[in-house]
Amino acid sequence: MTKETLLILLGILAASISFKVGLNKWLESKPESVPPPVVVRPNPPQPVQLISSPQEEKAKGEPKAEEKKQTPPPEPQKQKEDLIAKNTKEKKTKEVQKTQRSKNLTAQKQATRKEVAKQKKQAEKPRREVKEYVIQIGTFSSKEKADRALKKAISMGYRAEIVREGKLYKVRVRVKTDNPKKVLARLRSAFGSATIKR
């Protein structure tokens, strides 16, 4: 063998190796495609004819011009049409999913913005000082009624006490809060009256 022949063979070998490597990389990067499903369509049933005359048989032997024109498309054409229909359906499905994801992301962003705005608003509000208040929730002439109000206040979670002034029994609660108006409204709805004493 001559040097030229060896060089040609080496060049062909190098080219075929690089071609194979490139082809493998291309096949790996290409998404796996599922072959289209096989569609089996049943043939329409043929009408059964009884005995016919020789003239009818000659007429049957030669297909009419209309029948020649209406031959069904070949199978590869049907498969191609089915594949195109499937691809179109998949694209529409992907577009709908993409649109839905986009809407969800937009809704999440809006919710996040609202939450951030709410947190900023709360941070901007001046913090009120928590103080202890003594609130009188009732004045009673009988000890039994005062005891009932005391039990009700305790069941609501307040520290309560009865103070006797003369012949009257006054029920008072001690509350630590930064919003006394809110506490007053709650006590008034439960007991009918409530006033701050200290």
Q: What are the DSSP calls for 98-146, one per residue?
A: HHHHHHHHHHHHHHHHHHHHHHHHHHHSPPPPPEEEEEEEEEESSHHHH
Q: Quick check: 149 and 161 in contact, CB under 8 A?
A: no
**At 104, is the pLDDT very low, low, confident or very high (cuts 50, 70, 90)?**
confident
What value does the mean pLDDT of the chain take? 80
The neighbour count for residue 79, using CB atoms within 10 Å, is 15
**At 48, is the pLDDT very low, low, confident or very high (cuts 50, 70, 90)?**
low
Using N-to-C axis directions, what is the helix angle for 143-155 and 180-191, rounded to 10°?
Answer: 130
pLDDT in tens, 150-176: 999 999 899 999 999 898 999 999 998
Q: What percentage of the chain exceeds 70 in pLDDT?
A: 78
pTM of the model as a whole? 0.38
